Structure 1
Amino acid sequence: MKSIKVLAATVILLAVCTQPVLRVGALSDPSMALESVENEQADEVSDPGEDATPSGIPYEDLPGAMDAFVDERAATFASLSVEVFRGQETIYSRQAGYADIGNKVAADGNTVYEWASVSKLLIWVSVMQLFEQGKLDLDTDIREYLPDGFFRKLAYDEPITMIHLMNHNAGWQETVYDIEAEDHSGLVDPETALRRFEPAQAYRPGTVTAYSNWGSSLAAFIVQEVSGEEYVSYVHRHILEPLQMKHTSVSADLSDNQWVSEQRQKIKSYLITEDQFIELGTAQQFLMLYPAGAAIGTMDDMVIFAKALLADDGEGGPLFEKEETLALMKEPTSYFGDSGIARVCHGMWTLQYAADVMGHGGNTAFSANLMFEPISGLGVVIMANQAGETECNYGILSLLFGEYADNPRVKGIAFEDSKDLSGIYTQARTTVKGFSGINKYLGGLMPLAATEDSNQFQVQIAPGTLTKVGEHQYVLDNQSGWRYLMFESTNADGQTVLEMMSTDVIRENAAPFWLKTGSIILFILIVLASAVTLFVKLAALIIRKIRKRSNVSHSGPIRIMHTVLSLVNVSIGVLFFTLIILPMGTGSVKPVPSMLQCIAIGINSLISIVNAAILVRYWKQ
């Protein structure tokens, strides 16, 4: 199960990341997923008028358009729950497919889905509530709200504010160690979890956007410290209970809602691609940084929460006492470059279509999306029991909100041909410091190649195109329903940066990049050559034994040392792959084993160097 979060991130960013390998039992009858289950609620609940969605669909025609869209993609999902609303009025609601394909359990109103990272919206609403009460300032150094000496790995002596946490630009690299427990008995309290998994600060605060589950969970801990209530209790008392969200759990082990815990065992997760249909089982995770992604509930409950963020003008809604607080939450706190295009609004990410929308998406072994356009009040909630589902989770957004090329910001406005953006890009959301820094060069790469069209670039390791649509503005199409803005800028080191929703993607300077990746390749070649050498020596030894020939004349010190060197090289390679590379790829790196692994590899490396020096000495003699 440790590979699911890595897998989901891989699928959702097909045009950005290399794909890991997943080995689980495939379904015996994949065709079952293609069946259409008519358990939907597709009735039009209200008639909001004759006007149209930002994409141009008249509201009266929207239910039919949604039905057609979902039916056309029935083969791409296991189950899908979706609701479209405008303000407090529901326009379309439907549950389709199976919560459990093998047992033919149809999805319905009682089906619960993981919110995944949509859970973070509960954190940011909590923060804004405390801000409204004057208990928390968004621009104050957060160390004022934390125990003394809380941080151990800061690289910059600069203030870190709540706004930095909301914008995911406090500077932390990705967490190295596994943030999941095997079961509920392995869970720890939030403070212990944060201290245990603290990542290194790789970037100066406010300079680089790199999505951080750890930073978001830190914000939840601050909510706990400032309010004096445990985070789970706070969310229940100040969000779930006022909204009557009785079918949602927010604790890591679902212990705060018995009904949700029971319903969670009735749904399974799946991985569905063009050439794979894999059942992942119940795929329940026990996240130690649970505020960042552990909420689970029905679609109806998430819709209630979404509508609360769209309270009518002049009202603070059920979440806030003042309308100004709700309005402020929808104001930008981060922009794409110097464009004035909102990137983050107090923890809510923005996506750019014919109209700009805001909200949050999430991916674990499930996929979820909560997005709305604040001007028209049009919003949507989408939930699926599928890792990295984008056909519907993002395809529906295009259906409702149109294409960015039709946004008044770029439509009909001339722009110069694109500069050459070809090269290899790496994500800022990675590990840069420590032994896991190698991960930056093993995954999350986005190589771009020029095409005959000077304004279009091809992603080389996965389906995807990057097309210029305005000055410094490009749209990345992952060919699976997701099209999003990437804004071209330049960082302080002169590197080209493509700013996307959740992270900066940075073009690597050719020489340093190939020097580092070349050393990795050289290491692999040495290990392989040593393995071949050992195989040949072993084969020769067996042949000599069979022929009963003596080997005394060929067992001098040079040959002995060469054999030892080969053995050490192979052992280093095996240790490095099985104890570091493989755990990093599956998200199962443990702190203590990692330390022992590094020590073992260091000792073996020292032996290898000593053996090489001795060989050189003998060679000279």
Structure 2
Amino acid sequence: MVRQRRSAAGTRRILRGAAAGLMLRMLLSGLLLLATGCTATATSLSPRGDAAAAYLHATGAPGVVIGWSAGDGHPQIATAGTASLATGVPVDRRTIFHMASVTKPLVAAAILQLAEQGRLDLDASPTRYLPYFRLADPRFAQVTIRQMLNHTSGLPDVEDYEWEHPQTSDAALERWVRGLAGLKLVSDPGAAVHYSNLAYDVLGDVIAKASGMPFESYVRRHLLAPLGMRHSSLLLAEVDRSHLAAPHMPEGGQVRVSAVFPYNRVHAGSSTLYADATDMLRWARYWAARPGRAKARLLSDAGIAAMLKPSAAVDRPDRAQWRPAIGLGWFLLRVEGRAIAFHMGQDVGFTTGMMVEPGTGRAVVAMSNIATEAAGERMFDLCLTMMTAMQAPPPATRSGSYSGR
């Protein structure tokens, strides 16, 4: 059965657990080498190249694409399986996936951009930009945009994404925001982390009103285009369907192509980035870039630091050694002394992940066309294991001492 309610147990639970630090654990040794009976293609032969085939073996996913950068300037991509069981077309580096909640760091970056331009105040109420946004809760007056970014606003999660009845007009997002007036907060603003896709959907409308252009257009012009992410979009209508992976769900003991595709324009802010591995590596490497490396000027150094700075703790006593926290749009860990930022995603038919180690050039992106608990668990484990397996490249060998004047 295809699940439409992402806040209920099931396909959405694994995302919410991983995103809030509920599934933080290392992969059992050997996951990357479980490729029995599977084949994978990669840009180089390495144990990490087997990770794609191993993921299929462990989860039953039809297809998966994994991209990584070890900080040496040579990003790599591994693939395994098919884009659709209905066609048998293999996945490749150009296969486009629904990225689900991996969309959120992109939205947060757009908010920070507007704040740096003086067009938006992170500590203002969203009603400054959306005067029609109201909730049936007096505490709502205390909610700020910053709290929406780090999931401490107390805003509830979305109950029904209505993927089966998508809205696609330019007016859809504002109309949906106007319809939230009967909701109440789930906690006091600023009191605790409560993961809210709804908050990010509303932030899409904040971006639209603060920028004076449709949300998706702003992101394309000011984030995707400067990074050279030519194959990516928040609008399904702009995606090259010949490269689009099909969503798959378990049904009757078998994995089948889902009759429902996860797209609804009102949920673009939380969920609807469509991208291939090459483009996602461009985005991930922006965040992982070493100091001094040339990169697109999307945010100031202070803006980047603000997104990566812990702003709220994630309550996990059993994982306290990793100091799980949340920044603005990113979840944060410290593993073996290394600072790692990540986001995971899962919607009907798709499971995704992205991890970066800022300042090192090291990054991992992964996407698959299935949504199950096992797929979500393995996705987080896979990304974290690949990240922690990467070591800093050796320093350049000096051919002689410098004797300049």
- Is this a same-fold pair by TM over 0.5? yes
Following the alignment from structure 1 to structure 2, what is the Cα–Cα distance between the partners of residues 10 and 329?
A: 25
2:145 maps to 1:162: yes
Q: List alignment gaps of at least 5 residues for structure 2.
A: 19-34, 390-405
Q: Report how far residue 179 of structure 1 moved.
A: 4.2
Cα distance, 1:383–1:319 mapped onto 2, change above 3 Å: farther
What is aligned with 1:305?
A: 283
2:123 maps to 1:127: no
What is aligned with 2:381?
A: 395
Q: Report how far residue 172 of structure 1 moved.
A: 1.8
Q: Report how far residue 281 of structure 1 moved.
A: 3.1
What is aligned with 2:3?
A: 3
Structure 1 length-normalised TM: 0.53
Provide Cα deviations, 1:400-421, integer angstroms capped at 9, x if missing partner.
3459xxxxxxxxxxxxxxxxxx
What is aligned with 2:218?
A: 234
What is aligned with 1:182?
A: 165
Query: Number of residues paired by the alignment?
Result: 359
Q: Report how far residue 243 of structure 1 moved.
A: 1.4
What is aligned with 1:343?
A: 325
> What pairs with 1:15-414 in structure 2 (closer than 5 Å)?
36-38=38-40, 40-43=41-44, 64-75=46-57, 76=59, 77-87=61-71, 89-147=73-131, 149-156=132-139, 158-183=141-166, 189-197=172-180, 199-251=183-235, 254-255=236-237, 257=238, 259-264=239-244, 267-271=245-249, 276-281=253-258, 283-287=260-264, 288-314=266-292, 317-320=295-298, 322-336=300-314, 341=323, 343-351=325-333, 353-354=335-336, 355-364=338-347, 365-388=349-372, 389-390=375-376, 392-402=378-388
Q: Rg bigger for which structure?
A: 1
2:74 aligned counterpart, secondary structure: strand
Identity of aligned residues (%): 22
1:127 aligned counterpart, secondary structure: helix
Provide Cα deviations, 1:100-141, integer angstroms capped at 9, x if missing partner.
234321111221111101111221010111122122222223
Does the aligned pair in 1 maintain the 2:86–2:257 contact within 8 Å? Answer: no
Across the aligned residues of Structure 1 and Structure 2, the Cα RMSD in angstroms comes to 3.2
> What pairs with 1:450-489 in structure 2 (closer than 5 Å)?
none
Provide Cα deviations, 1:275-334, integer angstroms capped at 9, x if missing partner.
943213363123222221011121111111111222331468314253232233211221
1:246 aligned counterpart, secondary structure: coil
Does the aligned pair in 2 maintain the 1:142–1:161 contact within 8 Å? Answer: yes
Cα distance, 1:179–1:381 mapped onto 2, change above 3 Å: same
Does the aligned pair in 2 maintain the 1:171–1:210 contact within 8 Å? Answer: yes
Following the alignment from structure 2 to structure 1, what is the Cα–Cα distance between the partners of residues 365 and 255?
A: 25
Provide Cα deviations, 1:178-206, integer angstroms capped at 9, x if missing partner.
44352456885211112224532121101
Amino acid at match of 2:254: F
- The higher-RCO structure (CA 8 Å, 6+ apart) is 2
Provide Cα deviations, 1:344-379, integer angstroms capped at 9, x if missing partner.
111111245433421211101201111112253321
Following the alignment from structure 2 to structure 1, what is the Cα–Cα distance between the partners of residues 5 and 278?
A: 25
Amino acid at match of 1:394: F
Q: List alignment gaps of at least 5 residues for structure 1.
A: 16-32, 44-62, 404-621
Provide Cα deviations, 1:215-248, integer angstroms capped at 9, x if missing partner.
1111121111111111011011101111121111
Does the aligned pair in 2 maintain the 1:155–1:202 contact within 8 Å? Answer: no
Cα distance, 1:3–1:131 mapped onto 2, change above 3 Å: same
Cα distance, 1:166–1:8 mapped onto 2, change above 3 Å: same
Cα distance, 1:5–1:42 mapped onto 2, change above 3 Å: farther
Amino acid at match of 1:306: A
Structure 2 length-normalised TM: 0.78
Does the aligned pair in 2 maintain the 1:42–1:94 contact within 8 Å? Answer: yes
Q: Report how far residue 81 of structure 1 moved.
A: 0.4
Amino acid at match of 2:87: N
